[in-house]
Amino acid sequence: MNNSEEPGPKLAYAVVFGSVMVLGLPLNAVSLWILLRRHSLKSSNAIFMVNLAISDLLLVISFPMRVYLYATGTWPLSSKACDCITMLFRNNIRSSAIFITFISVDRLLAVVYPLRSRHLRTASNAWKSVALVWLFVLVVNIPEGLVLAGNLKRVNESTCFEFRGQQQEQQPGSALSYFQLVLVVTLLTVNLVSTALVSCTLHRRLNDSAKVNNKVNVMLIFAMNLVMFTICFLPVSIGVLTIKRDKITPLVCLASVNCCLDPLLYYFSLDAFWKKKEDVDLAREQ
């Protein structure tokens, strides 16, 4: 394993990834079960959240090998396995950022343009959007996977989980790193604009509780989204271009925490999250 770090930090990384795994696995598994069992997938919001939970679960299943590597300093699997597990992390950053933005835009349309957006906020459009997101993620994997494979020929396999700094990557890798930063900043901007528009709309409707229910929950959704972008997604996207490879692991740990925060979105975003979908449908009819 890379000797530029002391055993202490490596054990700390193992503890962090282990803790995130212990929390993230049951939280997302239970959330996914509730979303599928108690909420109809006819809602665009629920569809985005189901796919967000799936993205987080794909990330969490890679944590046991991260814990093993940082705890023991050895890698028992092949370099291809390193590639796959590294890609799960990068895919989670991109897919989670996009699905969270979709949730923000969906809430924006529901609050600011409730009538005019009905034809847009359909299950059919949501599934099409979800399919495009996963297709986009897979397409990006092709050049990025080639860069990772090339890097592993020049570095020890035990460093395979780390983002390579710009000076240590080939040009295609640097381009993908810049692309990731642009993507995250663009999505963050969309979330900021959505938050401002919804906040202004709710302020104008302060005394009209019939039109917008659970105003506090609505704003908590946007607050959680901004927290995840500014704490989890943005630092690692900037760090990959500015920090040396062996110093990026703390930001990777921080980014991984997003899979523990996402379940809070499900609670705040869906009315009557713990109720059966029949009860929710009945409440909507009334």
Within-domain flag for 272: yes
C-alpha span between 103 and 165 (Å, rounded): 32
Within-domain flag for 98: yes
Residue 253: which CATH number? Answer: 1.20.1070.10
Query: pTM for this structure?
Result: 0.85
8 A C-beta contact, residue 52 and residue 262: yes
Q: pLDDT tens, 216-256? A: 778 888 999 999 999 999 999 998 888 766 678 899 999 99
Q: pLDDT tens, 148-158? A: 776 655 445 55
Structure tokens at 82: 């390193």
Gyration radius of the chain over CA positions? 20
All residue ranges of the chain with pLDDT < 70 are 1-8, 150-173, 205-214, 244-246, 269-286
Within-domain flag for 2: no
Within-domain flag for 1: no
Provide the pLDDT for residue 52: 95
Average pLDDT, the chain: 81
Domain count of the fold of the chain: 1
8 A C-beta contact, residue 112 and residue 198: yes
8 A C-beta contact, residue 127 and residue 47: yes
Within-domain flag for 76: yes
Expressed as residue numbers, the domain containing 50 is 7-285
Within-domain flag for 90: yes
Within-domain flag for 88: yes
